[in-house]
Structure 1
């Protein structure tokens, strides 16, 4: 019999009961600490605080007013008997459901604040196509800036090609939405559209919180100890990393970033895609990590630089209550590429996987705070910490159900670029 067993046997019934209560209390505390922290509605429901990400875009707008750089635009072609009135009603139902789509921004006491516009309505006027191509019309929409001091920060346009073919153009400022939000927006628009067309089986659950609740939580109730620990990680991870990746451009950098750019489209054949999936399975990683490692290898080959950072977007919705919200949640992580040594691609892939997973574990810190902590040398020619970004996207229209309508995405040129190079696959 162990010493512990002897001690337990010698306890009186009252002592055993007290010990049991202490153990149960400790278990409850441990369970509570391990349970993910939920975001609750903010105490002051009349205030509309900005998140850290929103503040960054607001400051950018003060420096470069009237820039379309942070417009998020989409053009979708509808085939079938479209009910334009129901589509307009559906869009406005989504706007009413998500308060962040109703805001405008002001400066009060030297700081940015956002206010809700009362009685906001988004008109959807049908117009016939003019002499321009759809791509040209969509590009013009994408390049038309918003005034952040005036609501709404969302525009819609419906172009009629014939009785059975229409194109919806949607533009939202990034300060109130992100890529994930665009998916939420079009999905909820589809569900409202089916409901207004008579499908009584369509339901939408009430939102547990609004974006403003997240913004308030981020600044007032987030786990500061956890965030400080994550900041320390990024400070160590990026210490000594060159903050400029020198790619072999065919012209000199401009004195100040112009943010002008264009797209180049390419495709990867089915056989290569299959081999990439097989390589990912063999290496025990994801297609995203494999493509990121290949991209970093390519950048190393062309720059002859063995230490640099590549930015990747992260949805930053690791709480269930954030999954169905529209708002600016997306965060940016820097994945450092260390290409030193004579190693195989599989070994390098393993290193990239490790660094990426470590970055995922420390994704809660806003990128703005990482930049402030690391304090890279700043200049007006490049973005801080990285100038190249990688992103893997899915099919935005996959699974959408607009009843008897068929949808097709329209690709078009926006004419803008936030970085030296952005690879989207």
Structure 2
């Protein structure tokens, strides 16, 4: 809600891409033996804006649903497409919907939160004429070099010592059907969490600086341990 300058929003997003080389990635996998992460010097974000204020509320919903369906079906060409794309849709004089699509190969939900915080900071600084306050980030290549310097042997030894004394794996009970070869009785269970519980999970994840996915994996681990 409010007034948005589409050109300034696009400029701010492109400033984010300039700050973080990872976001300018292309993944080349067709002409190389091993996939390569290629950092492009001048990649711009895939940004489009539309104004549908003249449409009725029902028409706007149809337009939104159609766009979301087409966007999902489009997917991403890892070696050619910008791996983040945005569509700013104006639905009222001071109402907008920003549809953000990115490939998970770039970052997770926690990373998206960092990018959004920087985006709002850059957009606000530019719009109100403030001096840019964000510090220069560490290059992704620096992280990769650090990662390559880590000892796999030391890590393996750490976990061997940590798990010392455990003699067997924790098995998950399986109810196997008789008489049907290959049918182990696997089933899918869909569980709907309440808004309140979902909010508590999000708060738990935020307090510990992890994603909700990590929080749920931890809950699952505790359950298996018990």
Assess, with a 3 A threshold, how the Cα gap between structure 1 residues 261 and 105 changes in structure 2: closer, same or farther.
Answer: farther
Structure with the larger helix share: 2
Q: Does the 8 Å contact 1:128/1:160 carry over to 2?
A: yes
| Residue aligning to 2:28 | 106
For structure 1, the residue ranges without an aligned partner over 5 or more in a row are: 1-78, 255-259, 274-285, 289-310, 315-331, 340-425
| Residue aligning to 1:214 | 143
| Residue aligning to 1:197 | 127
**CA-CA distance at 1:181 after TM superposition:** 0.9
CA offsets 1:90-116 (integer angstroms, 9 cap, x no match)? 111001111111111123652111112
CA offsets 1:32-89 (integer angstroms, 9 cap, x no match)? xxxxxxxxxxxxxxxxxxxxxxxxxxxxxxxxxxxxxxxxxxxxxxx11111111010
Q: Which runs of 4+ in 1 moved over 6 A?
A: 260-263
Does 1:88 pair with 2:10? yes
For structure 2, the residue ranges without an aligned partner over 5 or more in a row are: 53-59, 176-184, 206-211
User: Which secondary structure does the structure 1 equivalent of 2:35 belong to?
Assistant: strand
Q: Which of 217, 221, 226 pairs up with 1:335?
A: 221
| Residue aligning to 1:267 | 195
| Residue aligning to 1:187 | 117
Q: Distance in 2 between matches of 1:261 and 1:104?
A: 37
Does 1:241 pair with 2:170? yes
Q: Does the 8 Å contact 2:88/2:96 carry over to 1?
A: yes
Does 1:173 pair with 2:103? yes
**CA-CA distance at 1:266 after TM superposition:** 1.8
CA offsets 1:357-384 (integer angstroms, 9 cap, x no match)? xxxxxxxxxxxxxxxxxxxxxxxxxxxx
User: Which secondary structure does the structure 2 equivalent of 1:158 belong to?
Assistant: strand
Larger Rg: 1
Does 1:232 pair with 2:160? yes
User: Which secondary structure does the structure 2 equivalent of 1:187 belong to?
Assistant: helix
Q: Which of 101, 116, 135 pairs up with 2:39?
A: 116
* TM-score normalized with structure 1 length: 0.39
Higher relative contact order (CA closer than 8 Å, sequence separation 6+): 1
User: Which secondary structure does the structure 2 equivalent of 1:156 belong to?
Assistant: strand
* TM-score normalized with structure 2 length: 0.69
